[in-house]
Structures are given as structure tokens and as C-alpha cells.
Amino acid sequence: MDSNLLPAMLTIDPGVSDTKAIWRVTPFKPELLMMSPEVLEVSAEEINFYKSRRITSPEPENESWVECGESLYAVGFLAQNIFDARVAFTQPKYECALAKVLAAVGVMAIKEALPDTFDLALAIPLPYSEWADRKKFERDVSTALSKFSFCDKAMSVNLKVFISVPEGGGHVMCRGQKLGSAFNQQKIVSCMWGYRDISILVFDKGVISGHTEPLGLFKLIEMVQSRISGYSSRQRERLLLETIHGVGKDIKTKNFKHLALSTNAARKSEEAEQIADVVRACRTEYWGKVARFFRTHISETADEIIIGGGSFDYYRDDLKTFFVQNYPNAHISWGAELEEDVRVSFNIGNKSKSLCARLTDAYGLSNFLRNQVCAIPTLGSTAR
């Protein structure tokens, strides 16, 4: 099918660690967009004040604001850096997802030089606990896209295709295409270990069930924060997360010296040692909670277990041992075997292996969306 007749395609994962989006204006040329996860409703006066002090032209993803109806939102880096927004972990993802979709559409339109009006195919994963609201979200996002502005640029986007799956569904769609009819004869479990939640989807002979628990990696960060001082701000929380994730099991005092806030050399070493001790204890305690959760919600009769999400790479070795011991008869699939495809598609370096793990579910869903759109022979579009 002529790609010029297809709608622009956007898959967006509105995560609380980062917003991850993959767009396709050309079906087999995916483009990756990563944005900070913050969204904050602001006033026109606040945006005007920001614009009055602007002397350069940042990339659109770094100064995104969207206006829809009577509401105006700063999104991503602008919300975080200028308006000091914080992620609300207790807020449903779909409530912030609408502004994130509008921002991602705006960034895509600018970078791809799309017209002010075009057609869109949208795919979005939601936690299983929020997936029941997908019809409401489709209605709201369709209305919002029909008339909004991105960075003062008026846009009207026609939502032609909408697909929503539970988190982990991108992995399952990918495996389902590979397994064919055998998929409906097996019990396949998809685990998504994100920053906020852990979701488990079960497809037993094709019939879906699931469970979501707010037991993502932020629980580990919270545990560490409660036992050390000075790391409650967004910036320091981010630094703490990056350090803990980067260090992995190599929990040594020297790896935490840059986190010590004291300027006295002796106290700095003592503080770094304390942080290392806390991280070591919390890492073990948190893993115990996650392992109990998995044992509770994953059946011993599973034929295949797919592990994905932004946090599983941190515990990859622990997970390998855990599944060998507890599920010896199940085939274990890491990111639905999409990590290398993600690395090649987006030219991700070997040092960013964890990023590949974070993107596999969205990438699998993006491929599924592309296949669905390209299979619709009568779908016309004003997009490029």
C-alpha cells in the first residue's frame, strides 16, 4: 500500500519515569521520542512570561505546551525544569496521557513537517487496572485531537485508528504473531515491571486476565529515600535512581561518593558508606516483595513467561535464577526477544542496554499498529 495514503502512526507509552513514543510517517522507519514524564496545568500568563524570557529555540520536545479547550498544560522538560512539576504516582496514567499524546503529536508534526490537519493512527498501553477506561480515553483523545494547539500552533488531527492494550500487550501481540494458531493452545504470561507498577497479563488459551500492583521500582527508591536524608527533590531523586540502576549489584561505597552531600571529607566518606549499606539492604528487601508477588500471580502451569518493562534489567540475574527455580518448564522470553531489534532500529549503544529493555513493549505495539494500518486497503489520509 502506498505509504503516502496512510495516516501518521504514533505509539505512546505514558510512563512515570519517561514518556516513550514511537512514530512512523514511513511505515518501516520508526522514530523514537523520549520526554520527561511531568505534566502540569498552567496559566496563559505563566506561558507568556516563559516566552518573554526565551532567547533561543529549543527542540520542541524540550519546550512543549498544549492548549485544549479551556486548559493549558506544560509537558515534559518544560513542566519539570521551568514549572517544577512532579509526577503524581497515585494519579491514573490516562489522566496525564491525553496531554502527553497531544505533545507527542505536536513534536512529530514539527519534526516531520506535517500539515496542520492530518490523519492519525494511535496505539497506547495502559495498566491492566486502567484498561477498562480505554473507550473513555479514546473518546476524550479523539475530541482533543480534533482541535488543539501545540506551542501556539493550531492543529486539527483526525483519529482514524485507535488501539489500546494492557501494559505488556505489545509483547503478547508480537509473540502471538510468531506463534500463530499455537497461541490459543497455550498459557502465556506477560509481566511488565515498570517504575510505578508491576502488571501481569495471563492469556490462557487466548482468554485474558490480569493484575496490577503499585510495586514498581519507585518502591525501592522510596525505601532508600526514607532511610537517608536530602533526596526528596525531583532532581536528586532522579540522580538516586540513575545511580542505583547504574551500580546494579556492585554496591560499594566508592560508587556512592557523588551522592554524599557533606563537604567534609571524613563525613562524606561516612555518608557514602551509609548510602551503600541502605541501598544493599533495600535492594534485598524489595526483591523479596517482588518475588512473592510473582509467585502469587504466576501459575506453575505457564507455558511461556514474557518479562519486560523498564525495571527488569536491574534484576535480570535474580530473575533468571528465580524462574529456573520456580518455573522450570516455562519458556522464558526477555522482552519478547525484541531487545536487539530495538537496539538496531534506534541505533542504541551497548552501554544503554537498559533503554532497549524499556522500549520493547512499545516497539512491539508499534509493529502491531503498523501491521494493522497497512492491512486496511481503504484507509485514506491527508497525511504525508
Mean pLDDT, residues 8-29 taken together: 95
Residue with cell 500568563: 45
Give domain 3-169+353-374's CATH superfamily: ATPase, nucleotide binding domain (3.30.420.40)
Could you report the per-residue pLDDT of 345-361, keeping only the tens digit for each?
999 987 787 899 999 99
SS3 of 266, please?
helix
Could you report the per-residue pLDDT of 68-114, keeping only the tens digit for each?
999 999 999 999 999 999 887 778 888 899 999 999 999 999 999 99
The answer to whether residue 378 scores a pLDDT higher than 60 is no
Could you report the per-residue pLDDT of 113-160, keeping only the tens digit for each?
999 999 999 999 999 989 999 999 999 999 999 999 999 999 999 999
Q: What is the mean pLDDT of the chain?
A: 93
Could you report the per-residue pLDDT of 322-334, keeping only the tens digit for each?
999 999 999 999 9
Task: Give the rounded percent of residues in the chain with a pLDDT score beyond 90.
Answer: 83
Residue 10 · residue 122 · CB < 8 Å: yes
CA dihedral over 34, 39, 45, 49, signed as positive or negative: negative
Cell numbers representing residue 319 in the block: 530473575
Run of H or E including 33: strand 31-35
The answer to whether residue 13 scores a pLDDT higher than 90 is yes
The answer to whether residue 379 scores a pLDDT higher than 70 is no
The answer to whether residue 381 scores a pLDDT higher than 80 is no
